[in-house]
Amino acid sequence: MRILHLVPGSGGTFYCQNCVRDRALVRALRRAGHDVIMVPLYLPMFGEEGSVGAKAPIFFGGVNMYLREKVPFLRSMPQWLDRLLDSPWVLRQAAAREQSTNAADLGPMTLSMLRGRRGNQQKEFDRFLAWLAEQDKPDIIHVSNALLLGFAPAIKNVIDVPIVCSLQDEEPWVDAMHAPYDQRVWEAIAENAKCVSRFISTSAWYADRMITRMNLARDRVSVVFPGVETDKLPAAEMGLDPPVIGYLERLSRSQGLGLLVDAFIALKRMPRFKNLRLRATGGCTPADRQFHESIRAKLRSEGMDDAVEFLEEFQLAQRGEFLRSLSVLSVPVPGGEAFGLQLLEAMAHGVPVVQPAEGSYPEIIAATGGGVLYDPKTPDGLVNALQSLLENPDDARRLGRQGREAILAKFNMDRVVRDMTAVYGAALERSP
């Protein structure tokens, strides 16, 4: 099968579930014999060993697109300036600053992209469509997320092939935008969705939410859990001397880091956990600096700052080593999220997880048996759940083993390829 996969590029400076998911899928599809062309948008795919590479040029270079949106007369800039702004050196500098991206301020640009050739990036859409018309016709076009659906109507005008679209993390991004752009973006996504044959949600919980937000027929949405590349994944030693709580996600209040720090402080006040440590990584944005200072001040006031390690300079390729250093992982995102790929990655190394019973987390724990859930509305729910594992090493190791066995058996990339190609086949049979 010939597949064209449109993905937002990444500088690799923070933990991005969608980026990890897309790279793993492309590599697995290629191993299975499919011809996959990855087309990175905005940025190249920086930041990970074993890169999937790209057989396509960069389209919609991030610097170029930002300037076109902010400076109207640059929308007709000469080609030499286009090439300069899309050069690898300029894009690498932009990638180093990708953490400064703020969804709240990107409403106008997001809406413009969703309008396709009717937006402010018409010249770049025309360049992409001209390139697409010159390629061998793909069987399927896979769009990484619904924020890229401005491509769908434009593509349909050039080549008539089924389009499938993954769904993950659109909701928090759009809902963070200033009014009226949040509502307008949802309306544009729903309109462009009419050109899509099938949608692929990372969890049943998120599928239900997006069916409502995008006004989708339920039979157009399939649930395919992401997977983990399970080769060369040694199990952690699960040392508990000292015990180490870990966190892998953007280092921000919105992703639950403050909740985990509070739970850590409550546990460390207990004499039996005087040696407890906390390690956190995943990258951060300039907007998070004030929050970081507040939690560091809180830890200093408790005399616990030496027991906490914030690895702000995130290295995507080194996350396996980080995970193996933990006794338990917890990323208590308030309200839950569409998926928790870092939970699968931790379990693949035999590390159990502790999560709130919200969002997709109950689905993940039910399918793997690799962790425990707690009621986030219960006072000290997170503290009690972490305490129960740290006080019972045998239970923690049992959950770690169960999780690892489930990942190796049911969350490997061979299963993902089977499920994904089944969706592709359904899209080929029935295209709107």
Cα(237)–Cα(152) distance, rounded to whole angstroms? 47
Give 83's pLDDT tier (boundaries 50, 70, 90).
low
Which residue do the tokens 């930041």 mark?
A: 47
Express each pLDDT in 314-331 by its tens digit.
887 789 999 999 999 999
Express each pLDDT in 270-315 by its tens digit.
999 999 999 999 988 778 889 999 999 999 999 999 999 998 778 8
Residue 115 lies in a domain: yes
284 against 208, higher pLDDT? 208
Residue 238 lies in a domain: no
Give yes or no: residues 214 and 163 share one domain: yes
Give yes or no: residues 53 and 66 share one domain: yes
Tokens of 26: 């492309």
Model pLDDT, residue 123: 83
Model pLDDT, residue 377: 96
pLDDT at 169 > cutoff 70: yes
* Contact indicator for 115, 150 with CB cutoff of 8 Å: yes
Q: How distant is the alpha carbon of residue 177 from its chain centre? A: 18
Tokens of 116: 């396709």
pLDDT at 168 > cutoff 50: yes
* CATH code of 350's domain: 3.40.50.2000
* Contact indicator for 342, 320 with CB cutoff of 8 Å: no
pLDDT at 252 > cutoff 50: yes
Backbone Cα Rg of the chain: 22
Give yes or no: residues 248 and 388 share one domain: yes
* Contact indicator for 172, 34 with CB cutoff of 8 Å: no
Task: Quickly count: other Cβ atoms within 10 Å of residue 222's Cβ.
Answer: 18
Give yes or no: residues 279 and 316 share one domain: yes
Give yes or no: residues 101 and 218 share one domain: yes
Residue type, 189: I
Tokens of 16: 């991005």
Give yes or no: residues 166 and 41 share one domain: yes
* Contact indicator for 63, 83 with CB cutoff of 8 Å: no
Alpha carbon dihedral 277, 279, 284, 290, in 10-degree steps, equals 0
Cα(332)–Cα(257) distance, rounded to whole angstroms? 7
Give yes or no: residues 328 and 419 share one domain: no
Residue 237 lies in a domain: no
Indicate the number of domains in the chain. Answer: 2
Structural domain boundaries, residue 406: 244-410
Q: How distant is the alpha carbon of residue 376 from its chain centre? A: 23
45, containing H or E segment: strand 35-45
DSSP-assigned letters across all residues of 345-377 = HHHHTT--EEEES-TTHHHHHHHH--EEEE-TT
Give yes or no: residues 23 and 119 share one domain: yes
Model pLDDT, residue 3: 97
Give yes or no: residues 33 and 141 share one domain: yes
Residue 234 lies in a domain: no
Residue type, 103: A
Give yes or no: residues 53 and 16 share one domain: yes
Give yes or no: residues 221 and 254 share one domain: no
Residue 364 lies in a domain: yes
Residue 134 lies in a domain: yes
Residue 254 lies in a domain: yes
**Overall pTM > 0.85:** yes
Q: What average pLDDT does range 170-181 have in this prediction? A: 94
Residue 235 lies in a domain: no
pLDDT at 362 > cutoff 70: yes
* Contact indicator for 251, 285 with CB cutoff of 8 Å: no
Closest CA to 252 of 304, 202, 288, 214: 288
Give yes or no: residues 395 and 418 share one domain: no
